[in-house]
Structure 1
Amino acid sequence: MITAIVLIQTEPDSIPETAQAIADIEGVAEVYSCAGDVDLIAVARVTEHEQLADLVPGKIGKVPGVLDTDTHIAFRSYSRRDTEAAFAIGMDETV
Structure 2
Amino acid sequence: MKPVFVQIKCELGRAYAVADQLVQEVEQTSEVYSTSGHYDLLAKFYLGADEDIGRFVNEKVHPIPGVRDTFTIITFKAFA
Q: TM-score, normalised by structure 1?
A: 0.75
Answer 1 or 2: higher relative contact order, Cα 8 Å, separation at least 6. 2
Q: Does 1:71 align with 2:72?
A: yes
- Contact in 2 for aligned 1:27/1:55 (Cα 8 Å): no
Aligned to 2:43: 42
Q: Which has the higher strand share?
A: 2
Runs of 4+ in 1 over 3 A off after TM superposition: none
Letter paired with 1:57: N
Aligned to 2:55: 54
Could you say which structure has the larger radius of gyration? 1
Letter paired with 1:34: T
Any gaps of 5 or more consecutive residues in structure 2?
none
Aligned runs of 1:1-95 on 2, under 5 Å?
A: 1-24=1-24, 25-79=26-80
The 1-side partners of 2:2 and 2:53 are apart by: 8
User: Aligned with 1:77: secondary structure?
Assistant: coil
Q: Which has the higher helix share?
A: 1
- Of the structure 1 ranges 52-61 and 13-22, higher mean CA displacement relative to structure 2 is found in 52-61
The 1-side partners of 2:31 and 2:52 are apart by: 17
- RMSD across aligned positions (CA): 1.3
Any gaps of 5 or more consecutive residues in structure 1?
80-95
